[in-house]
Structure 1
Amino acid sequence: MTQTWEHLLFVHWAVSPSLLRGLIPNELEIDTYNGMAWLGIIPFLMSGVRLRRMPIVPFTSTFPEINVRTYVKAKQKSGVYFLSLDASNPLITAIAKQWYRLPYSHASMIFSRQGQTIDFESRRLDKNNASVQFAGKYEASGQPIAAAAGTIENWLTERYTLFCRCSRKNRLYYADVYHEPWVLQKATVQMRENTMTSSFSIPLAGNPDYAFYARGVQSYVWPITRLD
């Protein structure tokens, strides 16, 4: 699958690994930086979505998305484990849940751009989780950089594997992802609402520890493979 990710905000909070252990499959090791696990919330605009050798389907390939993720290791691979993904496109949501075993939810979203400022709102449409919301503005506030190896910026963003679980078969899978390295800028963020982790009983009070903006990359996602 080919996707383009645009106007991304990476906001991260350091949390105790013990807070996440019950949310992560036991077969996966929680990846840490300076002894802490990291919980990220990433709102962005998805565009150019198409399956390999298939044309873009009109009116379905561009839509907002927001995900909640942390970082894990297994089988000498380090990557991303998604706790939740919310998108405004119900068709793509259904495909991703079926093909990539990812925990997508359908949400009502607003993505608007005025100058350099992005205004992003998301409200989950599941009546049992309608309180899961995000609203805020963000924009780049620093010079573009390519994060050097070993830095927290590089560790949080340069991830080229996603891990997922098939609940029906109770099996773990992974998919490799390719894109050019991120070009990051420090971000200014004004959050009006953030309850994206309320269903996990992990409140994220206060400002994030790190906030970065990225203009975007084109990505290529390989099919999932059984981890074992």
Structure 2
Amino acid sequence: MDGPRLLEMRWRDGLFAHWPVDPATIAPTLPEQLDVATYDGQAWLGVVPFVMEDIRPRGSPVGLTFPELNLRTYVEHDGAKGVYFYNLDADDRIGVRVARSLFRLPYYRAEMQVRRGAWPGDPESGPEEAITFTSRRDHRGVPPARFDATYRPAGDAFEPDPGSLEAFLVENYRFYTQGNRLYRGDIDHDPWTLRPAEAEIRSNTLFAASSFDQPAGDPRLHYAEPLDVTAGRIRAVE
């Protein structure tokens, strides 16, 4: 990570849902400084719901906890791979306001609920085995978006092998976003621990809200174990 670590937080209850898409679908949506990153010729769009827990300036005794939902793709800039965010919906008015005004991130206010329960229709499911995540964007002046899904881990935990598709999709330590200029930020954390996942996605209009057609086929699903994360400051890309 370039520069000091300014924020610390914990990410939990996360789902990575990824769809392969034609790189030609992604390229026109990116700032000119960024190139589409591909794996075996495929670009990817990801929908990621999770909870940002106890996010705070390093050393502060007070933190915020709120759900977040983002739509992302993967890009390259000067040989460095990273995440490009189309949106970051969050259920925190203060956090959204700060992120938009100070960091120029495409954060949008949304009403969200995250609750644990048994897997629907599975009498052997534990009482907190599944996560139901619902989101309704209510930010003025931007397209509405909804997401409603229940998901759970469905296999053994593993760390992605270097060079694997899983590593391509989740092991990203730089992000980019477009404001009045192109900006980048860096994060730092241990490697992800993933588990195969299953999900019932009842509603997902994030693609339409960002002017994408719904990708064909079922998504590739991974449940993310909790992870401690630190983040640096946002920098303009020259």
- Hey, what's the Cα distance between the residues in 1 that align with 2:158 and 2:110? 32
SS state at 1:66 partner: strand
Cα–Cα, structure 1 residues 68 and 111, in superposed 2: closer, same or farther, change >3 Å? same
Equivalent position of 1:7 in the other structure: 13
Equivalent residue letter for 1:161: R
Equivalent position of 2:236 in the other structure: 226
Is contact 2:138-2:144 (8 Å) kept? Answer: no
Aligned match for 1:74, one of 68, 77, 87: 77
Aligned match for 2:227, one of 199, 217, 220: 217
Residue 150 (str. 1) matches residue 153 (str. 2):
no
Superposition pairs of residues 160-179 of structure 1, within 5 angstroms? 160-167=173-180, 171-179=181-189
Equivalent residue letter for 2:56: R
SS state at 1:22 partner: helix
Aligned match for 1:92, one of 95, 98, 103: 95
Cα–Cα, structure 1 residues 56 and 144, in superposed 2: closer, same or farther, change >3 Å? same
- Hey, what's the Cα distance between the residues in 1 that align with 2:55 and 2:140? 28
Is contact 2:87-2:106 (8 Å) kept? Answer: yes
Equivalent residue letter for 1:140: P
Equivalent residue letter for 1:225: R
- Hey, what's the Cα distance between the residues in 2 that align with 1:205 and 1:164? 22
Greater mean deviation of Cα atoms: 203-212 or 10-19:
203-212
Is contact 1:11-1:208 (8 Å) kept? Answer: no
Aligned match for 2:61, one of 38, 55, 74: 55
Instruction: Give 1:129 shift.
Output: 4.7
Equivalent residue letter for 1:30: V
Percent same amino acid among aligned pairs? 34
Detail structure 1 runs of 4+ shifted over 4 Å in the superposition. Answer: 127-130
TM-score after normalising by structure 2? 0.88
Describe the superposition over 1:12-45 as per-residue Cα deviations: whole angstroms up to 9, x where unpaired. 0011122122221011011111111100000011
Equivalent position of 1:138 in the other structure: 151
Describe the superposition over 1:192-213 as per-residue Cα deviations: whole angstroms up to 9, x where unpaired. 1010111222132565331000
- Hey, what's the Cα distance between the residues in 1 that align with 2:161 and 2:178? 31
Instruction: Give 1:78 shift.
Output: 0.8
Aligned match for 1:46, one of 52, 56, 79: 52
Describe the superposition over 1:145-175 as per-residue Cα deviations: whole angstroms up to 9, x where unpaired. 01101111111000000112231xxx22211
Instruction: Give 1:128 shift.
Output: 5.0
Instruction: Give 1:75 shift.
Output: 2.3
TM-score after normalising by structure 1? 0.92
- Hey, what's the Cα distance between the residues in 1 that align with 2:11 and 2:214? 25
Instruction: Give 1:96 shift.
Output: 1.4
CA RMSD for the aligned pairs? 1.5
Instruction: Give 1:7 shift.
Output: 1.1
Equivalent residue letter for 1:17: P
Equivalent position of 2:3 in the other structure: none
